[in-house]
Amino acid sequence: MKKTILFAFTALIFLMIWSCSDTQKESSTHSESTHYIPHLGQMMLSTQIYHTKLYYAGNEQNWDLAEFYTHELTESLEDIIHYYPEYEGLKIKELTTNTALKQVQNLEKAVEKKSLIEFQEGFTQLTNSCNACHVATQHPFIKIKTPEKGDFQNQIFLK
């Protein structure tokens, strides 16, 4: 699991660097500039990473870090809505706004209150909302769960 996330993350960084250099090459030959927009699956990968890190931070009651990750997760979901309001005929904007984004807002309140119980309850609901949308968008085989310790060992989540 750790290796898979690390590999996927490295691949994402590589893709971003590669696409930047490609854009530079293109802009020297074409006057119109092009921007790299990650694929929806890659944006989901960032979402998954923030979902994991948010859990570690909240579970350790490191509320400053948890607040940071609720913010990152919100931005990540807003990017998805912005770039993929519809995807393969699916209403991504509507679904994300009514599911995951709502749950992150609930979690923000738990973090503000510094309530571990509310954080854990809210986190389960957030995870359920990720999966509900995967079912609604014909990706029921992508199943998200509460993370277990082990990923991101190069970062300290303890306060």
Interatomic CA distance for residues 50 and 52, integer angstroms: 5
Nearest distance from residue 85's CB to ligand HEC, in Å?
Answer: 10
Closest Cα to residue 107, out of 69, 53, 151? 69
Of residues 52 through 91, those in contact with ligand HEC by CB under 6 A are none
Among 79, 115, 139, 152, binds ligand HEC (CB under 6 A): 139
Interatomic CA distance for residues 31 and 122, integer angstroms: 48
Closest Cα to residue 55, out of 133, 145, 153, 143? 145
Site for ligand HEC contains 15 (CB under 6 A): no
Nearest distance from residue 58's CB to ligand HEC, in Å?
Answer: 14
| Locus of tokens 């309140």 | 109
Site for ligand HEC contains 96 (CB under 6 A): yes
Nearest distance from residue 17's CB to ligand HEC, in Å?
Answer: 18
Nearest distance from residue 91's CB to ligand HEC, in Å?
Answer: 8
Site for ligand HEC contains 142 (CB under 6 A): yes
**Region of 20-28, 57-65, 107-115, 127-135 interacting with ligand HEC (CB under 6 A):** 127-135
| Residue 146 Cα to chain centre, angstroms | 14
Q: Which tokens go with 70?
A: 């609720």
- Residue 37 · residue 83 · CB < 8 Å: yes
Closest Cα to residue 95, out of 138, 52, 38? 138
Q: Would you tell me which residues interact with ligand HEC (CB under 6 A)?
A: 40-41, 44-45, 47-48, 51, 92, 95-96, 99-100, 126, 130, 133-134, 137, 139, 142, 144
